[in-house]
Amino acid sequence: MERTERVMLWIGGVVMAVFFVAVVVLAAGFGVDVPGCITEMKPFERDTLFQRTDGRYELHVVARMWAYQMPPVELPAGSEVDLYLSSGDVLHGFHIDRTNVNLMAIPGTVAYARVRFKEPGDYPIICHEYCGVGHQQMVGVIRIVQ
Ligand SMILES: [Cu+2]
């Protein structure tokens, strides 16, 4: 092996190590979390919102052509929401603007994400997966108040 090849292999290894450390630091230090798909929970048919503890809520949303079936959501700033998403018909998207929540509503499964709403205001929800002729009307909102 030539010296240049060895040097390039070392540089590649160091760059990969730096990226790995960056991913670990972001995941542990900044709470970056990858949304998951829950396999042990049966898909639900009804939307619900309830308070689990002080400042912590659980929201169940059912996506159907062409609306999100969800209760009116008005929560205080600083609330942490465990979000469970299911689909009643076809594939839908679920993106909450100004957050990192970006889920797929897949029929027969439940998607999960946890989000904290720090700032008051309206957080629009949009479908980012083409789901039929009414796709562009598929919106919702989460209202956060002081
Ligand atoms: Cu859609």
How high is the pLDDT of residue 1?
A: 82
The candidate with the shortest Cα–Cα distance to 123, out of 105, 87, 99, 89, is 99
Distance 75 CA to ligand 1 centre (A): 25
Cα 18 to averaged position of ligand 1 atoms, centre (Å): 38
pLDDT means over runs of 10, the chain (146 residues): 94 96 84 70 80 91 92 92 92 94 91 92 95 94 93
In this structure, what DSSP letter does residue 44 have? P
Task: For domain 36-145, say whether CATH 3.30.420.40 is its number.
Answer: no
pLDDT of amino acid 29: 81
Alpha carbons 8 and 16: distance in angstroms, whole number: 12
pLDDT at 35: 66
pLDDT for 80: 95
pLDDT of residue 130: 95
> What's the CA-to-centroid distance between 25 and ligand 1, angstroms?
35
Question: Which residue from 110, 144, 145 is spatially nearest to 125, judged by alpha carbons?
Answer: 144
pTM score of the predicted model: 0.76
89 CA distance to ligand 1 middle (Å): 11
d(CA 74, CA 55): 12
Domain ranges for the chain: 1-32, 36-145
Distance 43 CA to ligand 1 centre (A): 19
